[in-house]
Amino acid sequence: MDIKETKDGTIIEVYVKPKSKDFSIELTNDEIIVHCTEPPARGRANREIEKKLSKIFKANVTIIAGCTSQTKRLLIRGLKFEKVKCILSKFEVKKENHSLNDDLKFKTFIVHLIFNGKTEEAINQLSSHYGVPVPRIKVGMPKGHVKNAACYVKKTKTIHFSRRETLANPLIVLHEFYHHLRSTTDWHGGIEKNADKFARSFLEAYKRLLFAFRL
């Protein structure tokens, strides 16, 4: 991680990932990663970075090198090295929390896929993660379940959804996937409150990660 104090302030080197879902900073032992939402066209990403980071550091932030590169050097005017380090530490991903972070990132990724209409991919990822067969997905409810938003039929290993729009609801998708998981592995027992708990753990991880990194 490259941080250097100068007479004008502190210079940091960052690696930029444009066109991200949200603006965020991720600090590792080796580098500072800035996720920005704007594309790297006509200086849009650069302007977003300067504006957002100026707000974070409460100081003027200017890109002084790497305007057309993903690796950029930024000058944080008027701030000393220790103050910059202190602010950046809030975004640090600690090694001892690596497995926890992996779980949070996986759950957040699954919710992100579902919110963005990629439910089949989310189901495939979930099935691979938990080591179970991929269930079928079908829009249309079987007899006896027409009033439900969704249901899982063990005999056919199918998750039924009442409407296509329901496929973009993470709580419903994950609730029914839990029943598939449980029926295949007896994972955590089969009562409804466990299905709700399983589904909500993904939403909580999604919100937690966004709260930690969203600006």
pLDDT band at residue 21 using 50, 70 and 90 as cut-offs:
confident
Would residue 9 be called left, alpha or beta, if left means φ above 0 and alpha means ψ between -120 and 50 degrees?
left
Contact 108, 33 (CB under 8 A): no
CA distance 44 to 65: 16
Q: Shortest CA distance to 131 belongs to which of 187, 174, 169, 173?
A: 187
Percent of the chain with pLDDT over 70: 89
Write the single-letter amino acid at 132. V
Domains recognised in the chain with CATH numbers: 3-93 (3.30.1200.10), 98-213 (3.30.2010)
Classify strands 9-17 and 32-35 as parallel, antiparallel or unpaired: parallel
pLDDT band at residue 27 using 50, 70 and 90 as cut-offs:
confident
CA distance 29 to 90: 13
List 73's β-bridge partners, or say none: 13, 65
Question: Mind listing the pLDDT tens digit for each residue in 143-190?
Answer: 888 889 999 999 999 999 999 999 999 999 999 999 998 887 655 555
Mean predicted lDDT score pLDDT of the chain: 87
Question: Mind listing the pLDDT tens digit for each residue in 33-89?
Answer: 999 999 888 899 999 999 999 999 999 999 999 998 889 999 999 999 999 999 988
Contact 47, 35 (CB under 8 A): no
Question: Mind listing the pLDDT tens digit for each residue in 151-163?
Answer: 999 999 999 999 9
- pTM score, whole prediction: 0.53
